[in-house]
């Protein structure tokens, strides 16, 4: 069963790899906003539109969503016992995260257009 395979060791490793990237990315962004905050809309937009910045941002959202999925899934499995409720919340979480993923993809890509 493929769903059993992602539920153990892979999820554990995924959680740590994404955590590392999230820690570095968010720390970098905090540093940027403290020491060199974007001065204007144009500066901000041009900065985000650079290929490596867009790519790093997409990787950030991807990591964030995977990390959140593993974390929220663990929490729901630990605390929500009734199967129907647990399944409903898991499905809602998954759909919500997918929607956030699509949305963030759209935001980053449209910053590169025009």
The two tokens of residue 25 are: 């990315």
Which of 19, 53, 56, 89 contacts other proteins by CB under 8 A?
Answer: 19
Which of 11, 14, 72, 89 contacts other proteins by CB under 8 A?
Answer: 72
The Cα–Cα gap between 101 and 110 comes to 14
Is the CB of residue 72 less than 8 Å from the CB of residue 93? yes
Under the binding rule (CB under 8 A), the answer on residue 95 touching other proteins is: no
Under the binding rule (CB under 8 A), the answer on residue 39 touching other proteins is: no
For the bound state, the minimum distance from the C-beta of residue 91 to other proteins, rounded and expressed in Å, comes to 15
The two tokens of residue 85 are: 């409720």
């Amino acid at each position: 069963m493929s769903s059993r395979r992602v539920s153990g060791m892979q999820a554990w490793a995924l959680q740590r790899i994404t955590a590392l990237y999230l820690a570095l990315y968010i720390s970098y962004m905090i540093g940027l906003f403290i020491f060199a905050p974007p001065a204007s809309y144009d500066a901000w937009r041009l900065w985000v539109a650079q290929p490596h910045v867009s790519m790093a941002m997409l990787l950030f959202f991807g990591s964030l969503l995977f990390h959140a999925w593993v974390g929220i899934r663990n929490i729901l499995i630990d605390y929500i016992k009734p199967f129907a409720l647990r399944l409903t919340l898991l499905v809602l979480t998954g759909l919500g995260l997918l929607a956030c993923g699509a949305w963030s993809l759209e935001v980053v890509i449209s910053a590169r257009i025009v």
